[in-house]
Amino acid sequence: MVHYKEKNKFEAAAKYGDDRVKIWRRAYDIPPPQLEDFSEHNPRNDSKYHYLDKRVLSLTGCLKDTVERALPYCHNSIIPSIRSGQNVLICAHGNFLRTLIKYLDKVPDEEIVELNLPTGKSKEITMNEQMFALRTPQIDANQLDEDFHSYNWEIFSSLFRHSYSHLIHSFKHEFQLFLRLLTSYHTLLSSKSSATIGQQLLQIKYSPSLQTRRQKVLYLSTFAFTYLYEKFLVDYRRLLPFQFIYKLFLFFNFLLFLRQGTYINLFERFVQLKTVHDHPPSLRVLDYTYMKRELIWHTLNETLGTIIPFISSLKARTFMRKHLSGTIMRQLEQTNICSVCDQSIVMPHESMGECKHYFCYVCAYSLIQQSCPICFKEIPNIKPKEFSVG
């Protein structure tokens, strides 16, 4: 609901101006000022909503907020009914209807301001059999495909890690081409599937699938081009201007994809393959409980990781032996085993002070200006231990 801190839009226009009120009413992501806590229009003061958390009762809003609330309902209720062959009559608030039109007709944000829907006048919209997939699942599916090929290659190359490793380096691109063809044979080139590995995980697919011989040949030619491009151009740094132009085409194609929402790669654009949802997208409910737990854990982990290196384990053990010796900790005695590292003493050194116990050179050096773990006397410096003969 859009408000203006006034009784109606006419009073708001008289106070703030027609242009400002028009932006508040129809702009995509510019909300009007928030309601005051004491306002009679504030939903948080309405007894009808006493059972709701006040945080879910917005004090302002714009069309962008309506989109976030309306699209899940559209995918879960409206679109499945249309796909089942029904004609759906939608009678709703103007903002909800503008949301549907913006999504279905892909109206840009800057043009939605001029979209006007007269009250009581019907508008007929004819939809395709399937809705195009959103940009995010397409990008995620593309990234999942790349991750799968990388993981597949890592597992395959590990077979030759200890023997015939030279084959991996000499025929790397040939093996990768073989793995990609093998994967495609069981996915897109199979009559039972019309989706890649990443698309199957995200429940999207190509529509129509690869049915004609021309489409399959073009699909296989992309593998051949990638193989030749990486093996003979990238590895040997040849035809750098051509590489730049090719990457420039990829960049402009991606910009078009972000603008239009279709054809994330050049192959899809050449073959005119569009990605659609295999099933209607479900409503996603965000729960921050897990995120909070992860943040607390990572904060604790980083705090301990910063503090622990400053704590000397030797100091802690010496302190505990000094106060707990003879109770829960045994009292140390001088033996041929170093009391610090619990190993045989190498290059024995002793204190130059009152303490006459000796340790390994490295251990004794670490005890300088510290307390002896046996007698707890301070060790100012160390010297080689001299043993009497006879």
Please report, for residues 28, 72, 79, 281, 369, the alpha-carbon distance to residue 75 in angstroms, rounded to integers and kept in the order given: 21, 5, 5, 6, 72
Dihedral sign, CA of 235, 240, 242, 247? Answer: positive
Residue with token string 């170093």: 338
Cβ atoms 165, 158 nearer than 8 A: no
| Dihedral in degrees, nearest 10, Cα atoms 151, 156, 162, 167 | -120
Calculate the alpha carbon distances from 24 to 62, 114, 216 in Å: 7, 12, 51
Query: Is there a binding annotation on residue 94?
Result: yes
Residue 25 labeled ligand binder: yes
Tell whether residue 9 is among the known ligand binding residues. Answer: yes
Alpha-carbon radius of gyration of the chain = 36
Question: Does 326 carry a binding-site annotation?
Answer: no
Q: According to the annotation, is 231 in a ligand binding site?
A: no
C-alpha distances in Å from residue 76, one per residue of 5, 73, 83, 275:
35, 5, 11, 19
Cite the DSSP H helix spans in the chain.
9-16, 18-26, 63-73, 79-83, 94-104, 135-158, 165-170, 172-185, 197-201, 213-228, 240-260, 266-271, 289-307, 313-324, 361-366
**Residue 12 region by backbone torsions, left for phi larger than 0, else alpha for psi between -120 and 50, else beta:** alpha
Quick one: 236 exposed, middle or buried, by C-beta within 10 A (0-12, 13-18, 19+)? exposed
The binding site comprises 9, 25-26, 94-95
The binding site for substrate comprises 9, 25-26, 94-95
